[in-house]
Amino acid sequence: MEKNNGFILLELIVVLFLATIIMGMSVMLFANLLPSNRLDATVRNISSTIRYARSMSQIQNEKQTVVVDLDARQYGIEGRGFKDIPPGIGIKIIDPVSGELLEGKYSFAVQATGAIEGGTIVVWNSKKSLSIQTDPVLGSVSVKSGETNSHESLIH
């Protein structure tokens, strides 16, 4: 009796079916994680831009300005280029004097001493909200998680 070492068609179909199911489940998992990762990456980029401006102001011993353009949905250090805020992400500024700002340009003045003058940046998507807070005296930048929000109608 001769022993068959190959696969039969039914075995191949079952393996392909299982592989398709596993691939489909992993795609759904990654698709659900993508908006959250995009929000986290945007918050990290904005906060690192502020920290970079603080370092540059101390190294060069001159004031740097971080600009958040709410209308153009961009942010960056004045004179050094701007980055876009991805679609599906909302942004607003909470200024200690003016209150909540949803449009216009807002500037954070980073002094040569390291102090940062400005408000709080709130960034959100349909699932969560994060705020970037600056300490006006120490110049530290911290990110705090917010509650599930109702800002989704404000996302452009």
pLDDT digits (tens, 9 = 90+) for 14-55: 888 899 888 888 876 766 567 778 899 999 999 999 999 999
Q: Does residue 59 have a pLDDT over 60?
A: yes
Question: Which residue in 126, 128, 44, 146 sits closest to 85, CA to CA?
Answer: 44
Could you tell me the two tokens for 7?
């696969």
Q: Could you tell me where the beta strands, DSSP code E, fall in the chain?
A: 64-69, 74-77, 82-84, 90-95, 99-101, 105-110, 116-117, 120-124, 129-134, 141-145
The whole-angstrom separation of Cα 63 and Cα 57 is 5
Could you tell me the two tokens for 115?
């102090």
**Which pLDDT does position 3 carry in this prediction?**
64
Domains, the chain: 9-154 (3.55.40.10)
Residue with tokens 């079952």: 14
Q: What is the pTM of this model?
A: 0.73
Comparing 148 with 74, the larger pLDDT belongs to 74
